Amino acid sequence: MHDRAKKALARLPLRIGMYILACTLVWLCCGQAVAADSRGEASALALAIGKERERLQQATELSDDKRKEQLARLDQAVEYLDRLQQEQQRIDQLRELVARAPSMLGEIRKSRPPAALDERVVSGWSTKRIGSELKRVNDALDETRSELTQAEKELADLLAAAKQDGEELARISVQLRRLGNKGGAKDASTLLLQQAEQAWLGARRDFLRMRQANLSALTELAQARRDHYSALQDRLQANATVLNKILTERNVASLEKSQQKTGKEESALPPELQPLQKEIDDLRAEQARIVARNGELSAREDQVRRQLEFLKNDRARLEQALKLVARGDELSSMLRKRRVLLPDISDIESELAEHREALDEATIRQLELDEALRAPLLEARLGDGSPAVTTRGNEDETHPELAREKQRLLEERQKVLSDLLLAYTDHVARLSSLQALLHKELDEVQDYHAFIISHLLWLPSSASILEFSPVELIHGIGWFLAPDHLLQLASGIRITARHERGKGLLLLLVAGILFWRQPKARRGLSACAEPVRHPRSDSFRFTLTALFDSLILILPLPLLMVGLGVLLGSNPSVGDFSLRVASGLQGMGHMLLFLNTLRILCSKDGLARVHLDWHPVLCDALHRQALWLTPLLLPLVFLHSAAAAGVPTGFVHLEGIVREEPRGVMLLGRLALVLMLLLLSVTLVRIWGRKRPVMRAFLEDARRKSWAQLHPLWFWPLLLLPAGLMGAALAGYDYSASFFLARIGTVLWLVLGLLLLRDLLLRSLRVAHRRMRFRQAVEAYQRSDHDEPSGDGELPQTELEQIDYGELSLQVRKLVELLFWVLLFGGLWYLLRDLVPALGIFDSIKLPLTTSRVVDGVPTEVPITLGDMLFGLFMGGLVLFVARSVPGLLEFTLLQRLPLSQATRYAITTVTQYLVVMLGLVLTFTAIGLQWSSIQWLVAALGVGLGFGLQEIVANFVSGLILLFEQPIRVGDLVTVGETTGVVSRIRIRATTIVNWDRQELVIPNKNFITGEVINWTLSDPINRLILPVGVAYGSDTGRAMEIMREVAEAHPKVLDDPAPSVNFEEFGDNALLLTLRAYLNDIDHRLSTRTDLNQAINERFAEAGIEIAFPQRDVHLDTRAPLELVLRRPGSGRGAEGEGASA
């Protein structure tokens, strides 16, 4: 009995195996029968659909709309049949895979990756064998990567199918039930559509059931394939690395050996040939360096490719996990780990910049080597028959051995140059390939980072604060005070002191010097405040000195905290506790830096209060709040920063990764965060509250009244920020609250920095404005003392004869304000761009224009987006505004320090404005992405328009440029154009304005000044001649009259002594003796008043001398050969009046 039982037990595995085999055969046969039935049903449906389509096309009783409707149903039924065919193929593939799964799994488990190559063994291979083996390994590696990617995708699909297939089967059952419950179809097309959909859903259901029934076996197979190809890839990659290393070392060794050999031969060469041999040695050394560098680039390229593949696969797995995992805290933990392990974007960008520079240098070196290779050919072509060639031939005949050796060296040099050029060609190719891979990695990391942030910020990282236990809080406090952790911190400090001794000593030295300088800085701050309060002693250098002293008072302790935290966190091996302490020190140092900045700037003699014109009440409030917040916030910030060491911020930099997250520590950090936000909310209310002193003072200040009037619009959103973050932290979103709080801190630093920069610029503007106005007042006072009052005949004053510094100051102030807002919004966009996905909508709207951009190293035509257009228009508007402010900006920054005339200054500012406008157009087109190929049709249309209708405008524009550059006329010149004489007041892009003697502004096109005749009275020499004609009566003493005229001219202060005035007796006139006085004046400004003075003086002197000024005379001769007839009439009649007039 016992033997029979043992035999039955021995036959039991065989019976079980036979039973499983029988069941499998039955299942396969049934599956094949079902598949055959499905295919037969599909063929019947396809045949019925074809017949119905032919019937509908030939039916005349149906309207066109009915026919189209039923034909559309048939088309949809055909689509379902196509899906049915695809599902049948997937069922067949799955059935075959299930049947082969045991054997495939056995083969995979039996297979082993190729043996690892030993460097000592490979070193004995030939170079040819190493090269061929490397090619084979690389081909196998590419194939393995593809198979691994496919295996990982299959495994991810199967893991997702464990949850999704059941849900999809339930949906299919509902759909099939719905289709079965429908009544009889109205027409054949509807019936065929229902049958096709039912057939497809049935096939889809069969596939899902089959996959669910064999899910464990398929998953096991997919995991085995994934592990197999992963191990195979690692082994192939290691073998490829070994082969690459040996091949590179062998090439470098060959080059070094050749270099050593030639070095020994160099000493035996004649002195004339040694420089050539040394050049060859240098080229070989350079080739060895490039070959070695190519090997490094190849290894780095493989590393980046593996990293890129890992990122893509890991992101796919993470996206799959996000669909499957339901708990938010688990997802948050997974995402945080991924976020920490991502490559640093700044490191990739730095490497890209290095490779870009190296690529430029290599390309230039390529050109140099190519030129060096072609040099002998060029010399041969250009040197035929030249004396140099003749001389060289004579040397060859005289020293044949030297000539042969030189020829050998030249040929060797050409060969080395050729090899080096090939090495550089390979170097450029590897650099380009690596650069393209790094660009892909950078894009992948940025996208992955944005993907993580977009999900991480909206997931809870822990349970609600209501679920915490006081025991956890006690554990958190104990964690910070645990002796083991304190010993770990001491060990971390010793390690850091040993590895970072130089940086630590430098930090202590700088902090010590700053502490030592603080008493002197306090005295200097007070000393700089006193001169600033008095306009006569004010200077911008006091502001710069106060800024330097303020930095000394602000920096020492925050610098020490942040520096110690950075040094402690720079060593990844110091442990989690040390890394959290380092994070706490850095966060505490940054908070102390911010509070110290507010406290020092707003102190009694602080920079903001005295120099930058901040409101005293606001300074008092900020100074007071900073004082009481400092001792309360610093310990809270330390606890929160230590707990949130894994949160990515711009304030904490750790080289190591904090892996553990003790619940008590996280709870302690969350409570510290809530208390911090509560204190900040109270501070906001105490400073910016509606009834607080700051708001009352702003209401009484004209410049700040608008801010006070808009108080509800900005105060409540500002107060809701800490309140919302506090609620998020209490609800379990402490990671999100910490992240957003760090971004808000960065925004606060941005706002504070831009405010200080703006106020410093405005402060320098006020000082410069006051200095210029004072200088202008002094010059006006000096002119009023030395110049006589001018009469009515003075030249018309133009608007630019005296600079309006108030207007220029307003221009620069507006420019500074615009710069502040542009930098503020640009900084906010840069800091918050990954938090506001809505901003990306502008880049998704594509316009019907294209531009050429480099994508993966290849120029590609890409469409221009609405974001590009808006950015280009913004840049254009900004540059146009800057162009309007150019006069003030140039005057305050440059022109006031140069000895230039007003006309020259005007020309410089105008030309600069034109250049800025042109630059704005270029920047606009560049930002938009428009190129010549995109806008050449527009340029052609403009050309046609210029040819027909815009000739005069273009001519005037070009003429205006000529006037500004050549300066035949300048602002302030006295000119005569045609019959018009006046002073040039402004030169614009199209026309020039002249103010004549009647104060009328005449606008004359610029073309007239270039093509017509223009008299410029003050172009090169302001000296002008004044001509005064004087007529004396016949019989007068002309000699005395000429002497008096000369004396009058010489006595006038405006008449020059050299050239001396002259008086000439011109001619005998009809009524007078004509004398002419010619006198020279120093300028044109007092020409009319001087003429008046001279005429008046000559008239008075002639009267005293009894010389009569001639007046017109007429002699009437009457014909007396006959009696004269007189007619007398009464007054009042026309004839009488006429006669009277005639008689008179």
Give the CA dihedral 413, 419, 424, 425, nearest 10 degrees: 130
Residue 1135 confidence (pLDDT): 46
Walk across the sheet containing 980-987 and list its strands: 1001-1005, 991-996, 980-987, 974-977, 1014-1016
Residues 367 and 226 in one domain: no
Residue 63 has pLDDT above 60, yes or no: yes
Angle between helices 734-786 and 540-554 (to 10 degrees): 160
Residue in the structure block whose two tokens are 């000739």:
951
**Cα–Cα distances in Å, from 1084 out to 693, 790, 977, 1022?**
62, 13, 17, 6
* Average confidence (pLDDT) over 1054-1071: 84
Amino acid 683 reads T
Distance CA 660, CA 646 (A): 10
Number of domains in the chain: 6
Which CATH number does the domain housing residue 1005 bear? 2.30.30.60
What is the DSSP annotation of 812-839?
HHHHHHHHHHHHHHHHHHHHHTTT-GGG
Average pLDDT, the chain: 76
From CA 545, how far away is CA 528, in angstroms rounded?
7
pLDDT score recorded for residue 16: 38
Helix, strand or coil, per DSSP, at residue 14 = helix
pLDDT, tens only, 688-713: 888 888 888 888 887 778 778 888 88
pLDDT, residue 896, reads 59
Q: Give dist(CA 507, CA 540) in Å, integer.
A: 32
Instruction: Find out whether 736 and 461 touch, Cβ atoms under 8 Å.
Output: yes
| Rounded mean pLDDT, 981-1010 | 80
Query: What are the distances in angstroms from CA 185 to CA 48, 75, 190, 989?
Result: 15, 17, 6, 80
Q: 208 and 168, same structural domain?
A: yes
Last residue within a domain, chosen from 261, 282, 303: 261
- Indicate if 194 and 273 belong to the same structural domain: no
The share of the chain scoring above pLDDT 90, in percent, equals 8
Average pLDDT over residues 1024-1049: 86
Q: Which of 100-104, 549-553, 855-859, 925-929 shows the highest mean pLDDT? A: 549-553
Which pLDDT score is estimated for 945? Answer: 62
Residue 161: band (very low, low, confident or very high) from pLDDT cuts 50, 70, 90: confident
Is there a single domain that holds both residue 119 and residue 210? yes
List Cβ neighbours of 87 (8 Å cut-off, separation of 6 or more).
200, 203, 204, 206, 207
- pLDDT reported for residue 514: 92
* 1025 DSSP 8-state letter: E
Q: What is the pLDDT of residue 924?
A: 72
Q: Are 600 and 606 in contact (CB under 8 A)?
A: yes
Q: What is the reported pLDDT for 48?
A: 83
Where does the pLDDT of residue 1136 fall: very low under 50, low under 70, confident under 90, or very high at 90 and above? Answer: very low
List of residues 6+ apart from 288 with CB closer than 8 A: 252, 255, 256, 259
- pLDDT for 301 equals 85
- pLDDT grade for 677, boundaries at 50, 70 and 90: very high
* Residue 823 forms part of a structural domain: no
Token pair for 855 = 């994508």
d(CA 641, CA 668): 11
What per-residue confidence (pLDDT) applies to 6?
41
Q: Which of 16-30, 274-288, 570-584, 612-626 has the lowest mean pLDDT?
A: 16-30
The answer to whether position 404 is within a domain reads no
Same domain assignment for residues 71 and 185: yes
641 and 753 assigned to the same domain? yes
**523 and 452 in a common domain:** no
Residue 624 lies in a domain: yes
Same domain, 242 and 278: no
Does 276 score more than 60 pLDDT? yes
Amino acid 393: pLDDT: 47
Spatial CB neighbours of 688, under 8 Å, sequence gap ≥ 6: 694, 695, 711, 715, 718
CA distance 964 to 636: 65
Which of 25-29, 163-167, 182-186, 608-612 comes out lowest in average pLDDT?
Answer: 25-29
Please check whether residues 676 and 776 belong to one and the same domain. Answer: yes
Q: Is 972 helix (H, G, I), strand (E, B) or coil?
A: coil
pLDDT on residue 625? 92
Q: Is residue 695 part of a domain?
A: yes
Residue 608 is classified by DSSP as: I
Q: Is residue 1113 part of a domain?
A: no
- Which residues are within 8 A (CB) of 3 and not within 5 positions of it... i.e. 6 or more apart? none
pTM, to two decimals: 0.58
In a domain, 166, yes or no: yes
CATH number, domain containing residue 1038: 3.30.70.100
Q: What's the one-letter identity of residue 540?
A: F
Position with higher pLDDT, 810 vs 809: 810
Domain end call among 211, 236, 261? 261
Q: Which range marks the domain in which residue 475 is found?
A: 465-780
Residue 622 lies in a domain: yes
Whether residue 896 is contained in a domain is answered as yes
Do residues 544 and 685 share a domain?
Answer: yes
What local confidence, expressed as pLDDT, does residue 851 receive? 63
Q: Return the pLDDT at 810.
A: 64
Same domain, 277 and 237: no
DSSP H or E stretch at residue 847:
strand 846-855
CA distance 601 to 759: 13
CA 467 to chain centre: 46
Mean pLDDT of 1106-1135: 70
More confident residue, 206 or 456: 206
What pLDDT score was predicted for residue 510?
92
pLDDT tier at 183, thresholds 50, 70, 90:
low
Whether the pLDDT of residue 797 is over 70: the answer is no
**Domain termination residue (choose one: 431, 457, 483):** 457
* Nearest in space to 130 (alpha carbons), one of 241, 256, 237, 231: 241
Query: Are residues 979 and 922 both part of a single domain?
Result: no
